DNA sequence: ATTATTCTACCTATCGATAGGTAGACATTA
DNA sequence: TAATGTCTACCTATCGATAGGTAGAATAAT
């Protein structure tokens, strides 16, 4: 049983870590930086997350849970395919405009081969959930899985391009193009 | 004027650096690792590239030059739009299957905000060249630039997803879908 | 109810390893 | 000889990780 204060401190640590990680990847996170941003010592971060991979895994798992939950909020069963994919696009646009940082899955996916095994496993699990949700939204048979791969790819890539070109509208236009022209 | 041996040594350094960087991003490169892979000391790498940003900038600029050159090889003027975009897709598939590592622009684009200024400038210049080539291939007016953004986004994202899911065919399928269904 | 014990959530201090970077000696080549 | 390239031998800063300790809250035993 964890006290209320402990949980909020853990949340603080995860918040700061996610922010750093979304800006510069896994290596951009250091125990010292996280600790000083939270207002504690690095050893206290180690107390909650013994190894750096524990920290990375916890962040990506929390991110995945929140992301999928956002997709399922509202009356999903009643929505048309277009509305569902628009909802997916909104989740991406929201993630970008929220803090001006890209999707955690995207940056960690890009550097997957240099991540600790637990972290890369969690990243792969995130993409599996995302693909499964999208394929189900499209209908659910085999071609829909491949279509889901294409849609997720486009969103992920558009997010990187938006940040690189410093133009968030690239992602919005990508979402519109997927919904209006492609589907 | 640089001697022939010097140039080949510089190429060796850039080869190893590009490989490391494509696997784990900018932070995955260290002078010691690069030096020992080449067979020299880290101070000798510093001789050719005083700062780490010089090394990063040189790698991305060489990469951009080779990538664009590959797109322009052959009789581009005679090609149809489909053939040109297929050529772009082949460049991406080739880059992935070559060493099993993703596009340098993609991983550096993802961590752009944590890169040294010269390096991030070079990354942005790479994407500008890529977008310009693609927009020109499509015809050249304003909507074609936005269409180019979408195509590049899809390729970049598909590359990340291919590596994450350890399935190179995701990228191939993405290329087919862009050429056959979308264009 | 009070004492004794354990647990929680931190702390300070330090470890070995590694990072990027520099000065100057030495060797090689033109 | 002069310039170029590589070396040894350092530096400072920071990394993840660990050891050992402590105040206070919660729990168990008397």
Judge whether residue B172 has pLDDT over 80: yes
| Mean pLDDT over each residue of chain A, to the nearest integer | 91
Interface of B with A (CB under 8 A): 23-25, 27-28, 101-102, 106-107, 109-114, 123-124, 127, 146, 149-150, 152-158, 160-161, 163-165, 170, 173-174, 177, 182
| Mean pLDDT over each residue of chain B, to the nearest integer | 90
The DSSP call for residue B31 is H
pLDDT value at position B5?
59
- A50 C-beta less than 7 Å away from strand D: yes
What is the distance between the alpha carbons of residues B38 and B16, in angstroms, rounded to a whole number? 7
- A169 C-beta less than 7 Å away from strand D: no
Decide if A158 contacts A167 (C-beta within 8 A).
Answer: no
Judge whether residue B147 has pLDDT over 90: yes
Q: Phi, psi (5° rounding) for residue A148?
A: -65, -40
Q: What integer is the mean pLDDT of A24-42?
A: 94
Decide if B109 contacts B123 (C-beta within 8 A).
Answer: yes
Residue that wins the pLDDT comparison between A116 and B181: A116
| Interface touch A25/B110, C-beta < 8 Å | yes
Judge whether residue A116 has pLDDT over 90: yes
Instruction: Round and report the angstrom distance from CA (B32) to C1' (C12).
Output: 33
| Nucleotide nearest B38, from its CA to each C1' | D6
Decide if B85 contacts B179 (C-beta within 8 A).
Answer: yes
pLDDT value at position B159?
96
Q: pLDDT digit string (tens) for A125-175?
A: 999 999 999 999 998 887 899 999 999 999 999 999 999 999 999 999 999
Domain ranges (residues) in chain B:
4-182
Residue with tokens 């050529």: B87
What is the distance between the alpha carbons of residues A103 and B19, in angstroms, rounded to a whole number? 24
Decide if B105 contacts B126 (C-beta within 8 A).
Answer: yes
Fold of A53-182: Tetracycline Repressor; domain 2 (1.10.357)
What does the block give as tokens for A72? 């399922």
pLDDT value at position B141?
82
Q: Give residue A2's pLDDT band: very low, low, confident or very high (50, 70, 90).
A: very low
Q: What integer is the mean pLDDT of B151-173?
A: 96
What secondary structure does DSSP assign to B55-95, as a single string?
HHHHHHHHHHHHHHHHHHSS-GGG--HHHHHHHHHHHHHHH
pLDDT value at position A6?
67
Which of A101, A105, A156 to mutate: most B Cβ within 10 Å?
A156
Q: What integer is the mean pLDDT of A29-53?
A: 94
Residue with tokens 């790479």: B126
What is the distance between the alpha carbons of residues B136 and A122, in angstroms, rounded to a whole number? 40
> How buried is residue A42: exposed, middle or buried, by Cβ count under 10 Å (0-12/13-18/19+)?
middle
Judge whether residue A101 has pLDDT over 80: yes
Q: pLDDT digit string (tens) for B78-109?
A: 888 889 999 999 999 988 887 788 999 999 99
Q: pLDDT digit string (tens) for A55-99?
A: 999 999 999 999 999 999 877 778 888 889 999 999 999 888 877
A149 → closest Cβ in B127, B161, B163: B161
CA distance A9 to chain B (A): 26
Q: pLDDT digit string (tens) for B52-65?
A: 999 999 999 999 99
pLDDT value at position A181?
75
What does the block give as tokens for A78? 């009643």
pTM for the model: 0.91
pLDDT value at position B21?
94
- A70 C-beta less than 7 Å away from strand C: no
For residue B173, count other CB atoms closer than 10 A to its CB.
18
Decide if B92 contacts B159 (C-beta within 8 A).
Answer: yes
A114 Cβ contact partners less than 8 Å away, ≥ 6 residues apart: A26, B23, B24, B25, B28
Q: Give residue A4's pLDDT band: very low, low, confident or very high (50, 70, 90).
A: very low
- B43 C-beta less than 7 Å away from strand D: yes
B110 → closest Cβ in A107, A170, A177: A107
The gap between the terminal CA atoms of chain A, to the nearest Å, is 48
3-state secondary structure string, A98-130?
A: HHCCCCHHHHHHHCHHHCCHHHHHHHHHHHHHH
pLDDT value at position B4?
37
- A36 C-beta less than 7 Å away from strand C: no
pLDDT value at position A124?
98
A156 → closest Cβ in B112, B160, B165: B160
- With contacts defined as CB-CB under 8 Å, which chain A residues touch B111? 23-25, 28, 107, 110-111
Interface of A with B (CB under 8 A): 23-25, 27-28, 101-102, 106-107, 109-114, 123-124, 127, 146, 149-150, 152-158, 160-161, 163-165, 170, 173-174, 177, 182
| Nucleotide nearest B52, from its CA to each C1' | C20
pLDDT value at position B179?
87
A169 Cβ contact partners less than 8 Å away, ≥ 6 residues apart: A162
Q: Indicate the class that CATH gives domain B4-182.
A: mainly alpha
At A139, is the secondary structure helix, strand, or coil? coil
């Amino acid at each position: 049983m964890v006290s209320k204060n402990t949980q909020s401190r853990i949340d603080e640590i995860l918040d700061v870590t996610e922010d750093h990680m979304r800006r510069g990847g896994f290596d951009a996170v250091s125990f010292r930086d996280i600790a000083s941003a939270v207002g504690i010592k690095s050893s206290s971060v180690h107390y909650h997350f013994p190894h750096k991979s524990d920290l990375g895994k916890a962040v990506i798992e929390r991110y995945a849970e929140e992301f999928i939950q956002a997709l399922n909020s509202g009356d999903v069963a009643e929505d048309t395919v277009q509305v569902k994919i628009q909802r997916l696009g909104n989740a991406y646009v929201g993630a970008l405009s929220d803090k001006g940082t890209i999707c955690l899955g995207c940056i960690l996916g890009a550097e997957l081969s240099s991540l600790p095994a637990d972290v890369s496993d969690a990243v792969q699990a995130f993409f599996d959930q995302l693909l499964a949700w999208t394929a189900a939204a499209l209908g659910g048979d085999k071609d829909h899985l491949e279509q889901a791969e294409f849609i997720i790819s486009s969103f992920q890539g558009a997010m990187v391009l938006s940040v690189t070109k410093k133009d968030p509208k690239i992602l919005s236009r990508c979402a519109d193009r997927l919904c209006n022209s492609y589907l």
